[in-house]
Structure 1
Amino acid sequence: MPRTAIIGGGARGIGRCLVRRFLERGYRVFVFDIDGEELKHTAGTHLKKYSDSGALVSAICNLRDVEDIRAKVKQAAEFLGGRVDVLINNGGIAAPKWKDGKTMADPATLAEWQAYVETNLTAPFALSQACVPYMAAPNAAAGPGSVPGDEKGTSSADLNEDKDVEDHPTNRAGRPEDIADAVEYLVNAGFVTGQDITVDGGALIKKS
């Protein structure tokens, strides 16, 4: 019986790469995202052969809506045969600054703060909680820092800029495949637990 995975935030960039990687490894995958257009492209075009074969199903999910999360996990579990082997909480808001140059002193930033907390903190908890009943041996992997994506076929290599070379001892920006390698390792490393694994090409060390 093939192993199964739920991947949140899987419509583009790192998420799309993760979906592709697990499908290539023979998993059945349920993927969701808030971006319906990108999700349609991922499941209906980029990974169409897996959708056609029944290995991949996608659904729109609002990670700020706990009831929607629970409903989508239930739908995913039904598609995956009642068992979830892997949950990847990839969805999140990565913007490092307030919108439109606002500062913390602007009351309007509270709404952005709530979006960050609900998407980046509450959603992974709610997803994990909803998946627990379907996981005999829970596995979860956490996402990275900023990594250029591959939206609608754009290669991450094309997004590599001079600053990316300067900021990383590896002389390049991160690629979705780098994160997929780390996630695949964590999923299969049965004796690794509770670890903070930094996948950043040495950028953090260079800044310190």
Structure 2
Amino acid sequence: MTTQTVIITGGATGLGYAIAEAFLHDSAAPTLRERANVVLNGRTFSKLETAAQKLDRPVRVVSPLANRIHLVAGDITDPTFAPKLVDEAVSRFGRVNVLINNAGIFAVKPFTEYSIGELDQYLNYVRGTFALTQEAVKQMRLQGDGGAIINIGTILTFHASQSIPSSAPIMAKAAITAMAKNLAFELAKDRIRINTIAPGIVPTPLHGELTPETLNSLDWQHPLGRVGTPKDIADAVLYLANASWVTGTILPVDGGIAAGGDGLNRS
């Protein structure tokens, strides 16, 4: 079985770190016997090094993670960085099988308080995700054996919350989600699947502006009675990486919010 190579953006902390951990350590990872090689991307190399050290558990005696992790620091909002990231993956591991578009930023504030400059910052992540997805698709087509692209979106695209006003970042997430729906048809003939995960509220460093009080108040508003964990999202990523007959889907991983309408707005 050929070991797969996975690129994860925004991989130093939060969801990206949990996804890397799942591919490197979880027996449900798509390579099963051999698990996966991971190209971990983030803006700061020192943070990537810290993440890699944490990921390097005692299993390294059996399967040295130093041989399975490659760190590539860089900002995906610079579209010229996309070819470099894919080239690094191919140079180190020979191929790209899975792309996780996870990198992003988030800020909670009323609609009228966002500046156009802030909106541009969010839209830069759309441009960067677009460029990186293009480069990954080119490489997957060259390989000729398909691939999987998984975007990390948000349930707030479809179920707004009075407690979390966030129109600018949600606008960017919605654009990436729409791109995936359309690409699923275009890329199906190449056996390249593209799907989006729509997480509910999952506390991570990205959501540092959400107060503990706000997060606690959102616990009970999820039908399953709690906010999510990064592992909840990582488990869904592994599923979509394996799901050879699933493309173009938006998968809510949200504690049941999508099933019930206005759960985030109950009081």
1:130 aligned to 2:185? no
Q: TM-score, normalised by structure 1?
A: 0.83
1:111 aligned to 2:117? yes
State the identity %.
32
Is the contact between residue 170 and residue 202 of structure 1 (CA under 8 Å) also seen in structure 2?
yes
Alignment of 1:30-109 (within 5 A): 30-43=39-52, 45-48=53-56, 53-81=66-94, 83-97=95-109, 103-104=113-114, 109=115
Sort the Cα spacing of 1:161 and 1:116 in 2 relative to 1 into closer, same or farther, 3 A: closer
1:36 CA drift (Å): 3.3
Give the total of aligned pairs: 193
Is the contact between residue 179 and residue 199 of structure 1 (CA under 8 Å) also seen in structure 2?
yes
Is the contact between residue 56 and residue 65 of structure 2 (CA under 8 Å) also seen in structure 1?
yes
> Which residue of 1 is the match for residue 36 of structure 2?
27
**Equivalent of 2:152 in 134, 140, 143:** 143
1:202 CA drift (Å): 2.2
Q: What is the RMSD computed on CA atoms of the aligned residues?
A: 2.5
* Aligned-partner SS, 2:113: coil
Is the contact between residue 148 and residue 159 of structure 1 (CA under 8 Å) also seen in structure 2?
no
Q: What is the CA–CA distance in structure 1 between the aligned matches of 2:120 and 2:88, rounded to whole Å?
A: 27
Is the contact between residue 144 and residue 179 of structure 1 (CA under 8 Å) also seen in structure 2?
no
1:115 CA drift (Å): 0.7
Sort the Cα spacing of 1:198 and 1:48 in 2 relative to 1 into closer, same or farther, 3 A: same
**Equivalent of 1:174 in 224, 228, 236:** 228
Q: What is the CA–CA distance in structure 1 between the aligned matches of 2:70 and 2:231, rounded to whole Å?
A: 21
Q: TM-score, normalised by structure 2?
A: 0.65
1:102 CA drift (Å): 6.3
* Aligned-partner SS, 1:198: strand
Is the contact between residue 12 and residue 48 of structure 2 (CA under 8 Å) also seen in structure 1?
yes
Amino acid at match of 2:100: I
Amino acid at match of 2:48: L
- Structure 1 residue runs of 4+, over 4 Å off? 49-52, 158-161
Q: Which runs of 5+ in 1 are unaligned?
A: 152-157
Q: What is the CA–CA distance in structure 1 between the aligned matches of 2:138 and 2:113, rounded to whole Å?
A: 42
Q: Which runs of 5+ in 2 are unaligned?
A: 30-34, 155-200, 207-211
